[in-house]
Amino acid sequence: MQLMLSFRLFLLLLLPFSAFSLSQQDSIRPIVDIRRVKLHEDIDVLQSRICALDGKPDKMIAISRDVDLDLLLTDIYTRQTDDLQQDIERNILADHRIKVKYLSGLHILLEEMAKSFRGSALSVSEALVLLDAYKQYMGRDLIGLGIYGLVEKFPYGVNRILLGENSVFFENPDLTSARLLLFRQFAGLYPEQVLSRIEPYLAAPFADSLIAAAAHQFPSRFYDYAAATETAIGKKIRTIDDSLVKMITGIAEESAGRLIFPFLHSILKRKISIDSIKSLVSNDLQYYQLLIRTQLQYMDDMQANDTPILFQEMGLTIKRKAEEIFINEINALHDAPDEVRFKILAPLGPAELYYIIVTGEDVLYTSSYTGVYNRMMARLQKLGGDDLLVELRFDKFKKFVRMAAAYNKLDHFLSTMPAENAQLLMKSFVRGLEKNFNLEDAVDVSDSYGSISSNSIRELIKAEIEKNLEQQQLQGNARGTAIYDILKLLFKSATDSAQLLTQKYHIPPVYALPLSALSDVGGRVVQQVFFYGDKDGKESFANFISMFKGKKEWKVVQLEHWVEIKSLLGKPVWIFANLPLDNTQGDDPDAKAQALLVEYLNENGLKPTIVIHRGHSYHLKYTIQQMPASAKIIILGSCGSYQNLNTVLDLCPDAHIVSSKEVGTKLVNEPVLKQINESVRLGNGVNWISIWTQLEKQFNAGVAKERFDNYIPPHKNLGALFIKAFNNRPQ
pLDDT of residue 498: 53
- Tell me the DSSP string of 27-74: -SPPPPPHHHHHHHHHHHHHHHHHHTTTS--SS----SS-HHHHHHHH
Distance CA(149)–CA(140), nearest Å, equals 10
Give the residue from 611, 557, 621, 571 showing the smallest Cα distance to 591. 621
Q: How far apart, in Å, are the Cα atoms of 559 and each of 253, 274, 474? A: 59, 63, 64
441 neighbors 433 (Cβ within 8 angstroms) = yes
SS3 label, residue 634: strand
448 neighbors 642 (Cβ within 8 angstroms) = no
Distance CA(440)–CA(651), nearest Å, equals 18
Residue type, 685: G
Residue type, 266: S
Kindly report, as residue ranges, where domains of CATH 3.40.50 are found in the chain: 513-727
Distance CA(502)–CA(486), nearest Å, equals 11
pLDDT of residue 297: 96
First to last CA, the chain: 65
pLDDT of residue 499: 60
> Dihedral through CA 383, CA 387, CA 391, CA 397, nearest 10?
120
Q: How far apart, in Å, are the Cα atoms of 72 and each of 28, 64, 82, 131? A: 25, 11, 15, 12
CATH code of the region 513-727: 3.40.50
Q: Are strands 633-636 and 610-614 parallel, antiparallel or unpaired?
A: parallel
pLDDT of residue 21: 42
- DSSP designation for 119: T
CB atoms within 10 A of CB 388: 22
Q: Which residues of the chain have pLDDT under 70?
A: 1-28, 437, 450-451, 453, 493-501, 583-587, 616-618, 637-646, 649, 661-666, 703, 706, 710
627 neighbors 530 (Cβ within 8 angstroms) = no
Distance CA(307)–CA(216), nearest Å, equals 13
pLDDT of residue 700: 77
Give the residue from 501, 478, 506 showing the smallest Cα distance to 488. 501
Q: Are strands 633-636 and 573-578 parallel, antiparallel or unpaired?
A: unpaired
Q: Are strands 525-531 and 573-578 parallel, antiparallel or unpaired?
A: parallel
Q: Is the pTM of this model over 0.95?
A: no
Give the residue from 178, 229, 242, 225 showing the smallest Cα distance to 204. 178
Give the residue from 280, 217, 220, 227 showing the smallest Cα distance to 251. 227
511 neighbors 687 (Cβ within 8 angstroms) = yes
pLDDT of residue 623: 84
* Total residues found in the chain within this entry: 731
705 neighbors 697 (Cβ within 8 angstroms) = no
Question: Beta-strand (E) ranges in 212-327?
Answer: none
Q: Are strands 633-636 and 656-660 parallel, antiparallel or unpaired?
A: parallel
Residue type, 284: D
360 by Cβ neighbours in 10 Å (0-12 / 13-18 / 19+) ranks as buried
CB atoms within 10 A of CB 355: 26
CB atoms within 10 A of CB 570: 14
CB atoms within 10 A of CB 352: 21
Looking from the CA of 287 toward its CB, the CA atoms found within 13 Å total 25
Give the residue from 166, 93, 89, 169 showing the smallest Cα distance to 133. 169
Using H for helix, E for strand and C for coil, what is the string for 258-290? HHHHHHHHHHHCCCCCHHHHHCCCCCHHHHHHH
> Dihedral through CA 389, CA 391, CA 393, CA 398, nearest 10?
-20
658 neighbors 634 (Cβ within 8 angstroms) = yes
Alpha-helix runs per DSSP H in 322-452: 328-332, 338-341, 350-359, 366-378, 385-391, 397-406, 410-415, 419-430, 440-451
- Tell me the DSSP string of 336-352: S-HHHHTGGGTT--HHH
pLDDT of residue 13: 37
- Tell me the DSSP string of 545-581: HHTTTT-TTEEEEE-SSEEEEEESSSS-EEEEEE---
Distance CA(713)–CA(498), nearest Å, equals 12
Distance CA(237)–CA(258), nearest Å, equals 18
Q: How far apart, in Å, are the Cα atoms of 117 and each of 47, 72, 240, 387? A: 14, 16, 39, 54
Question: Beta-strand (E) ranges in 637-729?
Answer: 656-660, 686-687, 711-712
